[in-house]
């Protein structure tokens, strides 16, 4: 029982990342009709926003410490962050410690700007082109973006820890009546799940309860009619692309302490996120979120030793197996609408 | 009146034969004209450095390339000479190799076997490389070693740690200076016993490819010989990034040690995940839960940040060693590039010097004569103490370092501390040891 609860928790945080990326993918597909293979790269850039802010906050000047030696035997040059000079050592250390949460604020304008530039500069030229062209150009863009990141940050993972207060694990077992240390779960992964739920809720509320959201939803349903009413739907869709980029970026920022960011992390999530979108139903926002969590949990269960002893290798194929079964039984996905991607 | 014998058909035939001759790859023509593949004829000799320049190991590849450039500089008489000054063999004098200036070409392995073979092939056929070196993966090393055997050039392996490279996949033209999984386990096990006792239950997570398998097999055998019990061994996909679903079952498995048979990005992520799940704060079977990483890469351990603190592992070489060879290499490398070299850089630098020295001693670039000079060669002064290039399998035998993640690092390079230099005798094994069985060195191929 404890193993099952642990894998459900695992699946929820894995599903959180899938759901956030798939949500952005679906927003872009639903509004602009573009299959965006660069979306994983946006997730990766989000993680590197956290790395970048950490580097900005740790910008330092060097102080020579004569009492210590460097690897060549010369007096050691010790880095002293400027924030320590400005705010004092304790406050400076706290600011650096909280660099990942602070990166949320940093990443939103950066990611919206990247999204808008991507859409206006490249993707708008492919609206009327076949999906195959869109996939090729956005996949190419993803490779360019990751090579740019690799050029500036290298190929190795870069540790980006969560604030000290979120290190360690929460003892769920005690809460549920189990012995201590039986079901423990890292605090930051719980934070990640809560954050993902908040973002998903905010996006749905934005689309549901604001005039802007109403126009976007109307545009998703019938773009031409909304245009005929004198509404500049293209401009709103561009903004939605920026918002989708911001959602992917935020998912990346908060993921940075879970696994050290590297230039390739976007590709690791991209294919799975597309499967999530297809399983959820092309163009369906609730479907993307639902499928994200369902597939995340199933993937976790498939990694259990008990399951793998019966079905070796199932952890590698479970997501694709479920996708095949769903598409055979419900060709439009879990919550797909008629007419989407069917022409 | 003279009669011309020139016919249209004759011109075409002659042209076709001449064209085919010109177009024939040098790998074939040279072997006919020379005694061996790519025999240097001018005033230069070309070496081929095949390293990952793109892909996840690109940083390690870049460090290897720096070391190769430094070695070439030293061979040609540039810089301060580095380890040439401390090398026990005194044949290298800064005038190149056999009086020929050393030049080099580079290839990108991409850490993919097919790409690595293609780039090595190109360097041999198009650039005339007489030796191939470098790499950061056992899969790549085995693939390129096979190619070099077929092409008739020497392969001086870079970072490759699988037992198979000098075990079942060994080749007469291939030579490995780097240590292997068996040696890691043989060095690490006694230290683990000293630190954690002989009554332990180990749970293994293992990267599902050649290196992971041999590493796991080696460390399991070594720890079970101490009295440890192996609770489980779970194979994890090489492409896995989040190991949480593999870590969770460890919590209640009854194990009190987690052995991460992972390297590179896998190691960074699995170790980070394990620490996040509070494994190191757990008490199991009345003991502190411990994590072990059998093969450390200082370059990549940086990615795991503070999570490496206190974690034991092994490494081929470390820049903090205080022998004369290591100090000379760190000084040369650090002065040129501004940071200390990695173990990958060290092994590549050493391999280049060893090759050059073997050519000098053999008096020829013929790979069979070079190979004979390397076989059974005993040397010192290159950073690992007295070392033997064993003739039976072309594996170097030398001291192995057991290291631990440093609690209070003084710089971003100061991540590991050497806790024991395990003597060579303790990591030696018979050439026909079961973990290395199944292969055949074969005979040297000069390519002629």
Cβ–Cβ contact A253 with B under 8 A = no
Which of B364, B380, B398 is the last residue before a domain boundary?
B398
Do the beta carbons of residue B183 and residue B424 sit within 8 Å? no
**Are both B118 and B129 inside the same structural domain?**
yes
Domain at B340, CATH number: 3.40.50.2300
**Are both B250 and B297 inside the same structural domain?**
yes
DSSP B64: H
| pTM as predicted | 0.86
Provide φ and ψ at A161, rounded to 5°: -75, 155
Q: Which 316-375 residues of chain B touch chain A by CB within 8 A?
A: 319-320, 330-331, 334-335, 339-340
Split into its structural domains, chain B has a count of 2
Please give the order of strands across the beta sheet that includes B312-315. Answer: B229-236, B201-207, B257-261, B290-295, B312-315, B400-405, B416-422
Name the more confident of B384 and A312. B384
Per-residue model confidence as pLDDT tens digits over B257-281: 999 999 988 899 999 999 988 888 8
Q: Which residues of B touch A13 (CB under 8 A)?
A: 244
pLDDT > 70: percent of chain A: 98
Q: With CB atoms and an 8 Å threshold, state whether A184 touches B278.
A: yes
Chain B residue with the nearest C-alpha to that of A182: B252
Locus of tokens 């499928």:
A291
**Are both B229 and B297 inside the same structural domain?**
yes
pLDDT of A130: 87
pLDDT of B6: 47
Per-residue model confidence as pLDDT tens digits over B136-157: 999 999 999 999 999 999 999 9
Mean pLDDT of B402-412: 89
pLDDT bin (cut points 50, 70, 90) of residue B33 is: low
- Within-domain flag for B442: no
Name the more confident of B327 and A272. B327
**A80 in the Ramachandran plot: left (φ > 0), alpha (ψ -120 to 50) or beta?**
beta
pLDDT bin (cut points 50, 70, 90) of residue A219 is: confident
- Within-domain flag for B22: no
N-to-C CA span, chain A: 47
pLDDT of A30: 79
**Are both B133 and B149 inside the same structural domain?**
yes
**Are both B336 and B295 inside the same structural domain?**
no
- Within-domain flag for B329: yes
Least confident of A29-38, A154-163, B68-77, B193-202: A29-38
Q: With CB atoms and an 8 Å threshold, state whether B410 touches A76.
A: yes
**Secondary structure of chain A in the HEC alphabet?**
CHHHHHHHHHHHHHHHHHHHHHHHHHHHHHHHCCCCCCHHHHHHHHHHHHHHHHHHHCCEEEEEEEEEECCCCCEEEEEEEHHHHHHCHHHHHHHHHCHHHHHHHHHHHHHHHHHHHHHHHCHHHHCCCCHHHHHHHHHHHHHHHHHHHHHHHCCCCCCCCCCHHHCCEEEHHHHCCCCCCCCEEEHHHHHHHHHHHHHHHHHHHHHHHCHHHHHHHHHHHCHHHHHHCCCCHHHHHHHHHHHHHHHHHHHHHHHCCCCCCCCCHHHHHHHHHHHHHHHHCCCCHHHHHHHHHHHHHHHHHHCCHHHHHHCCCHHHHHHHHHHHHHHHHCCCCCCCCCCCCCC
Q: With CB atoms and an 8 Å threshold, state whether A72 touches B300.
A: no
- Within-domain flag for B413: no
Q: Which residues of B touch A264 (CB under 8 A)?
A: 56
**Are both B306 and B331 inside the same structural domain?**
no
- The residue range of the domain holding B219 is 182-315
Calculate how close chain A gets to B301, using CA atoms only, in Å.
Answer: 9
pLDDT of B4: 45
- Within-domain flag for B331: yes
pLDDT > 90: percent of chain B: 76
Residue A314 has pLDDT above 90, yes or no: no
Which of B263, B293, B315 is the last residue before a domain boundary?
B315
**Are both B211 and B269 inside the same structural domain?**
yes
Residue A73 has pLDDT above 90, yes or no: no
Per-residue model confidence as pLDDT tens digits over A137-170: 999 999 999 999 999 998 888 999 999 999 888 8
Average pLDDT value over all residues in chain B = 91
Cβ–Cβ contact B150 with A under 8 A = no
Which of B290, B315, B340 is the last residue before a domain boundary?
B315
Residue B1 has pLDDT above 50, yes or no: no
DSSP B342: P
- Within-domain flag for B403: no
Q: With CB atoms and an 8 Å threshold, state whether B268 touches A188.
A: no
Q: Tally A–B CB contacts below 8 A.
A: 125
Residue B344 has pLDDT above 50, yes or no: yes
Cβ–Cβ contact B268 with A under 8 A = yes
Q: With CB atoms and an 8 Å threshold, state whether A154 touches B58.
A: yes
Cβ–Cβ contact B306 with A under 8 A = yes
pLDDT bin (cut points 50, 70, 90) of residue B29 is: very low
Mean pLDDT of B309-320: 95
**Are both B52 and B168 inside the same structural domain?**
yes
Q: Using CB atoms, pick whichever of B58, B234, B278 lies closest to residue A168.
A: B278
**Are both B149 and B60 inside the same structural domain?**
yes
**Are both B190 and B304 inside the same structural domain?**
yes
Q: Which 376-415 residues of chain B touch chain A by CB within 8 A?
A: 410-411, 413-414
Class of the domain covering A2-48+105-329: mainly alpha
Where do the structural domains in chain A lie, given as residue ranges? 2-48+105-329
- Within-domain flag for B405: no
Residue A181 has pLDDT above 80, yes or no: no
Contacts of B214 (CB under 8 A, 6+ apart): B162, B163, B164, B167, B180, B181, B182, B435
**Are both B368 and B324 inside the same structural domain?**
yes
pLDDT of B26: 46
**Are both B192 and B171 inside the same structural domain?**
no
């Amino acid at each position: 029982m404890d193993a099952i609860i642990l894998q459900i928790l695992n699946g929820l945080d894995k599903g959180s990342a899938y759901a956030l990326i798939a949500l952005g993918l679906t927003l872009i597909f639903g509004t602009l009709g573009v299959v965006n293979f660069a979306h994983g790269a946006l997730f990766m850039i989000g993680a590197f926003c956290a790395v970048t802010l950490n580097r900005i906050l740790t910008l330092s000047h060097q102080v020579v410490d004569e009492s210590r030696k460097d690897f060549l035997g010369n007096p050691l040059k010790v880095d002293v962050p400027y924030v320590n000079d400005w705010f004092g050592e304790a406050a400076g250390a706290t600011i650096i410690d909280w660099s990942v949460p602070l990166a949320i604020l940093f990443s939103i304008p950066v990611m919206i700007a990247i999204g808008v530039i991507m859409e206006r500069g490249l993707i708008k030229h492919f609206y009327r082109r076949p999906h195959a062209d869109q996939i090729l150009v956005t996949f190419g863009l993803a490779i360019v973006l990751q090579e740019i990141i690799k050029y500036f940050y290298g190929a190795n993972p870069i540790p980006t820890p969560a604030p000290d207060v979120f290190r360690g694990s929460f003892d769920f077992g005690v809460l549920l009546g189990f012995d201590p240390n039986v079901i423990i779960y890292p605090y930051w992964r719980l934070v990640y799940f809560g954050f993902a739920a908040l973002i998903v809720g905010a996006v749905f509320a934005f689309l549901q309860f604001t005039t802007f959201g109403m126009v976007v939803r109307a545009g998703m349903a019938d773009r031409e009619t909304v245009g005929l009413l004198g509404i500049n739907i293209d401009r709103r869709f561009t903004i939605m692309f920026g918002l989708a980029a911001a959602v992917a970026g935020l998912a990346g920022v908060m993921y940075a302490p879970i696994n050290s960011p590297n230039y390739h992390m976007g590709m690791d999530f991209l294919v799975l996120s597309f499967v999530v979108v297809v399983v959820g139903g092309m163009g369906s926002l609730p479907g993307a979120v639902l499928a994200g969590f369902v597939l995340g949990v199933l993937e976790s269960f498939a990694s259990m030793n008990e399951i793998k002893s019966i079905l070796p290798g199932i952890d590698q194929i479970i997501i694709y197996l479920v996708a095949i079964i769903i598409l055979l039984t419900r060709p439009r996905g879990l919550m797909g609408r008629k007419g989407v991607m069917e022409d | 009146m003279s009669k011309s014998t020139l016919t249209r058909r004759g011109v075409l035939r002659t042209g076709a034969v001449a064209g085919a001759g010109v177009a024939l790859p040098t790998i074939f023509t040279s072997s006919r004209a020379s005694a061996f593949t790519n025999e240097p004829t001018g005033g230069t000799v070309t070496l081929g450095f095949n390293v990952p320049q793109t892909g996840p190991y690109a940083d390690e590849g870049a460090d290897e390339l720096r070391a190769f450039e430094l070695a070439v500089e030293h061979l040609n008489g540039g810089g301060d000479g580095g380890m040439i000054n401390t090398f026990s063999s005194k044949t290298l004098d800064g005038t190149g190799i056999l009086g020929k200036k050393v030049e080099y070409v580079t290839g990108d392995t991409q850490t993919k076997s097919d790409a690595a073979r293609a780039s090595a092939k190109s360097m041999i056929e198009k650039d005339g490389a007489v030796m191939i070196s470098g790499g950061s993966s056992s899969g790549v090393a085995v693939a390129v070693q096979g190619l070099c055997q077929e092409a008739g050039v020497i392969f001086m392996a870079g970072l490759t740690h699988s037992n198979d490279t000098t075990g079942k996949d060994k080749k007469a033209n291939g030579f490995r200076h780097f240590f292997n999984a068996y040696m890691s386990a043989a060095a690490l096990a006694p230290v683990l016993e000293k630190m954690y006792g002989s009554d332990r239950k180990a749970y293994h997570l293992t990267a599902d490819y050649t290196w992971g398998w041999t590493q796991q097999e080696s460390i399991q055998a070594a720890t079970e010989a101490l009295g440890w019990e192996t609770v489980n061994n779970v194979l994890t996909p090489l492409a896995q990034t989040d190991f949480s679903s593999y870590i969770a079952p460890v919590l209640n498995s009854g194990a009190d040690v987690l052995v991460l048979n992972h390297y590179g990005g896998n190691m960074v992520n699995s170790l980070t995940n394990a620490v996040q799940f509070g494994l190191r704060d757990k008490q199991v079977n009345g003991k502190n839960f411990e994590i072990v990483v059998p093969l450390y890469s200082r370059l990549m351990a940086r990615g795991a940040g503070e999570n490496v603190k206190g974690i034991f592992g092994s490494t081929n070489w470390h820049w903090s060693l205080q022998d004369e060879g290591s100090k000379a290499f760190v000084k040369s490398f650090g002065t040129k590039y501004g940071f200390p070299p990695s173990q990958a850089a060290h092994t590549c630098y050493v391999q280049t010097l060893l090759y050059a020295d073997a050519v000098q001693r053999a008096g020829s670039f013929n790979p069979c004569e070079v190979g004979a000079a390397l076989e059974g060669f005993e040397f010192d002064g290159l950073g690992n103490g007295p070392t033997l290039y064993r003739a039976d399998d072309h594996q170097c035998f030398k001291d192995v370092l057991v290291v631990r993640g440093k609690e209070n690092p003084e710089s971003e390079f100061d991540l590991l501390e050497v806790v024991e230099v395990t003597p060579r005798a303790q990591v030696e094994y018979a050439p026909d040891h079961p973990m290395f069985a199944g292969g055949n060195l074969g005979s040297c191929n000069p390519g002629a």
